[in-house]
Amino acid sequence: MNILYNRAKEKGIDVTNGVKAYSTNTNIQEKIENIEYSTYQNISKEEEKELIAEVIDDSSINYTENKKKL
């Protein structure tokens, strides 16, 4: 979470309101909620697939190298 937060800041993304973590893994909820700039939302596997598809299709953050890793 720290890496993602710091990278977002480096890229000029507005993180003044913190960042939100979405996960199907409730075991990480407490760890994420203890980070002052983050919040956690549990999602279903279907919601996870939809969010991943949105990221893959977002041309502002879409890199060919990243698609190869999926």
Per-residue pLDDT in tens (0 to 9) along the chain, 70 residues: 888 888 888 988 888 888 888 888 888 888 888 888 888 889 999 999 998 888 777 776 655 554 555 4
Q: What secondary structure, in 3-state letters, does 3-70 show? A: HHHHHHHHCCCCCCCCEEEEECCHHHHHHHHCCCCEEEEECCHHHHHHHHHHHHHCCCCCCHHHHHHC
pLDDT value, residue 47:
93
Task: Name the residue range of residue 12's domain.
Answer: 2-69
pTM score: 0.55
Number of independent structural domains in the chain: 1
